[in-house]
Amino acid sequence: DETRESYKWLFETFLEAHKQQMPQTVFTDQNQTMEKALVVVMPGTYHGLCTRCLIQDGIKNLGNLMKEESDFLIDFKKCMYDYEDEEQFEDGGKTLIVRYNVKENTWLQRMYATKKKWTACYMKKTFTLGYNQV
């Protein structure tokens, strides 16, 4: 049952088990229903996207471009992990879009819109205990 109420119950139960101490950061997949419940139950908690889940979703949406260690996947992972600052990420992202002719891909457009939840350069001030999902 993946309803907002079920996720609210899950997060409330988590808080109860942890004496109402909210985590600083929670990583989830891209489930919007879960995200809405998280915002309600843990409003001060940073919500990041699990990069392993993101890669799996990318395979579904981009097919062979994201398979194993394809050139696209290598370049995409650079965008995720390697760029030190936002300008590098933006430049690398533009290069990726042009090189692989994926400007019109709606999944990549959605990922760009949520870049602050999964890219190292935007999350460098976020408490993650060094958690790196891929």
pLDDT in the model for residue 68:
83
pLDDT by residue for the chain (134 residues), tens only, comes to: 899 999 999 999 999 999 999 999 898 888 999 999 999 999 999 999 988 899 999 999 999 899 888 999 999 999 999 998 999 999 999 999 999 999 999 999 999 999 999 998 998 877 776 655 43
Cα 82 off chain centre by? 15
φ/ψ of residue 21, rounded to 5: -85, 115
Give the phi and the psi of residue 48 in degrees, each rounded to 5: -105, 160
What is the amino acid identity at position 60?
Answer: K
**Spatial CA neighbour of 50 closest among 76, 74, 23, 25:** 25
Given this model, what pLDDT does residue 98 score?
96
Query: What is the structure's pLDDT at 130?
Result: 60
Do the beta carbons of residue 28 and residue 34 sit within 8 Å?
yes
Burial profile 68-92: b = 16 or more Cβ within 10 angstroms, e = fewer: eeeebbebbebbbeebeeeeebeeb
Determine the length of the chain: 134
**Distance spanning both ends of the chain, measured CA to CA:** 28
Query: Which residue spans within the chain are E strands per DSSP?
Result: 25-28, 46-49
Q: How many CB atoms lie within 10 A of CB 43?
A: 8
**Residue in this structure with the two tokens 């915002």, named with its chain if needed:** 39
104/83 Cα distance (integer angstroms): 24
Could you count the other beta carbons within 10 Å of the beta carbon of residue 37?
21
- Determine if the pTM surpasses 0.85: no
